[in-house]
């Protein structure tokens, strides 16, 4: 196990009604910039509850609405301007990963003397941020408890992740009932996203990190159990609660520290989103089984077989056979059990037009991953995923 520092200072208030803790924002001042998306929080009533609690706590709220899924740098810039113009003390996101990511880069951009896009391209420029808070409404990205944010500049077909301890939320409210209204599509995509975060950390060659691997397998088994349960019964509290807590731990360092390889399916997916604006979790589900098949070899078959035995309860002596069955199970889970689009054509990507340029960028972003991936490997993976 490699050396690491584990520090997740986010205070989590988990469970029904925990939004009452929004009065704690007073610890950071008085003026709040509230970031949210296209209106789901107004339809399901979270907005009204949050506004009342903040008003009663004596907070003044400024609003930035319309944060896009795959949030855009233009929206971040707008938020930074508001922070500067109004002397904002803190940023609160209510929503999924897009609203939280947008809030994070606004908070960092507000104290940076330059354009916020610099901070997306070069995380080392992030030297501080306004305090960040979140109320999570979609279980997926783990942004509520991690250091990362992903922002797009669609005019350049660019989508990049950035990260800094300064962007870790100070406090997040995780109320599973807030995810009852999440659509089937987004529930499935969110489950695939947290599974992908787990896979990115789980598939590594470091020996002796058993505790991280067993945690990872537990997260995967939880997603496999409760993802379909949440689809069948959107207001199943246990399903929504388990997915919510699994999503936070898939990416907050718990299973990554000590064994962390560079991620590779995410860089490949971010290119799909950058060029075609697709839903992140759907892109990951499409690429994951194809990537698994592409990299499986004699040298790593035991790792895939362990995945098959410990997550899918597969039996059998032959590692390669178990590994292949585990990949089949993964594919069936995403595309049959969870009903997700099974290939790129199903999400509107019909030809190879951008594969070369996308693969070149993704190859740079995945140096040091579980198995090395050249630009040519990635083009092959995209082609196999086309359908």
Query: Where does this chain bind Zn ion (CB under 5 A)?
Result: 193
- Residues 194-233, interacting with ligand NZQ (CB under 6 A): none
**Using rule CB under 6 A, residue 146 touches ligand NZQ:** yes
354 burial (CB, 10 Å; 0-12 / 13-18 / 19+) is: middle
Choose the contact partner of 143 out of ligand NZQ, Zn ion, none; CB within 5 to 8 A by kind.
Answer: ligand NZQ
Of 190 and 228, which CB lies nearer to ligand NZQ in the complex structure? 190
Work out whether 182 is an interface residue with ligand NZQ (CB under 6 A).
Answer: yes
Binding of ligand NZQ at residue 285 (CB under 6 A)? no
Using the rule CB under 6 A, is 39 a contact of ligand NZQ?
Answer: yes
Residue whose structure tokens are 């901070």: 119
Residue 248 interacting with ligand NZQ (CB under 6 A): no
Q: Which of residues 152-181 bind ligand NZQ (CB under 6 A)?
A: 178-179, 181
Using alpha carbons only, how large is the chain's radius of gyration in Å? Answer: 20
C-alpha span between 127 and 112 (Å, rounded): 8
- Per the listing, tokens 């797009």 go with 152
- The phi and psi torsions of 64 (rounded to 5 degrees) equal -120, 100
Alpha-carbon torsion 304, 365, 77, 355, what sign?
negative
Question: Reduced to 3 states, what is the DSSP secondary structure of residue 134?
Answer: strand
- Would you count residue 38 as binding ligand NZQ (CB under 6 A)? yes
Residue placing its CB nearer to Zn ion in the complex, 249 or 309 = 249
> How many other CB atoms are there within 10 angstroms of residue 232's CB atom?
10
Contacting ligand NZQ (CB under 6 A), which of 72, 204, 240, 266? 266
Least distance CB 112 / Zn ion (angstroms): 25
Verify binding: residue 96, ligand NZQ, rule CB under 6 A.
Answer: yes
| Contact partners, residue 87, CB within 8 Å, separation at least 6 | 31
Nearest residue relative to Zn ion (C-beta)? 193
Applying CB under 6 A, does 98 fall inside the site for ligand NZQ? Answer: yes
* 70 binds ligand NZQ per the rule CB under 6 A: yes
Q: Which of 115, 107, 76, 108 is nearest to 90 (CA)?
A: 107
Residue 269 tokens, joined: 């997916």
Chain residues binding ligand NZQ by CB under 6 A are 37-41, 44, 69-70, 95-99, 101, 137-138, 140-143, 146, 148-150, 178-179, 181-182, 186, 190, 193, 251, 266, 280-281
């Amino acid at each position: 196990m490699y050396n690491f520092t584990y520090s997740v200072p986010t205070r989590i208030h988990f469970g029904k009604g925990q939004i009452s803790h929004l009065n704690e924002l007073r610890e950071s001042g008085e003026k709040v910039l509230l970031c949210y998306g296209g209106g789901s929080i107004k339809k399901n009533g979270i907005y009204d509850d949050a506004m009342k609690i903040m008003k009663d706590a004596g907070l003044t709220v400024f609003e930035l609405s319309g944060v896009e899924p795959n949030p855009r740098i233009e929206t971040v810039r707008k938020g930074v301007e508001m922070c500067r113009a109004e002397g904002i003390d803190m940023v609160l996101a209510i929503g999924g990963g897009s609203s939280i990511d947008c809030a994070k880069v606004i908070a960092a951009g507000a104290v940076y003397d330059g354009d916020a896009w610099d901070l997306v391209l070069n995380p080392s420029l992030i030297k501080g941020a306004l305090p960040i808070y979140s109320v999570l409404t979609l279980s997926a990205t783990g942004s509520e408890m991690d250091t990362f944010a992903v922002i797009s500049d669609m005019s350049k077909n660019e989508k990049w992740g950035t990260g800094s301890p300064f962007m870790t939320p100070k406090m997040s409210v995780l109320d599973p009932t807030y995810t009852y209204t999440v659509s089937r599509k987004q529930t499935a995509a969110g489950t695939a996203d947290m599974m992908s975060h787990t896979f990115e950390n789980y598939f590594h060659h470091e020996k002796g990190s058993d505790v991280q691997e067993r945690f990872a397998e537990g997260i995967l088994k939880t997603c496999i159990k409760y993802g379909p349960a949440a689809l069948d019964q959107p207001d199943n509290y246990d399903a929504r609660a388990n997915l919510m807590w699994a999503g936070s731990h898939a990416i907050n360092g718990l299973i990554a520290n000590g064994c962390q390889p560079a991620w590779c399916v995410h860089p490949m997916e971010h290119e799909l989103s950058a060029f075609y604006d697709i839903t992140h979790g759907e892109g990951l589900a499409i690429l994951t089984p194809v990537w698994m098949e592409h990299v499986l070899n004699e040298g790593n078959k035991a790792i895939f077989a362990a995945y098959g035995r410990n997550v899918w309860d597969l039996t059998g002596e032959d590692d390669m056979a178990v590994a292949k069955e585990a990949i089949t199970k993964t594919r069936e889970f995403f595309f049959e059990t969870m009903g997700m689009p099974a290939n790129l054509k199903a999400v509107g990507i019909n030809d190879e037009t951008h594969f070369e340029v996308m693969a070149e960028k993704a190859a740079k972003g995945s140096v040091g991953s579980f198995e090395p991936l050249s630009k040519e490997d990635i083009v092959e993976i995209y082609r196999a995923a086309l359908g």
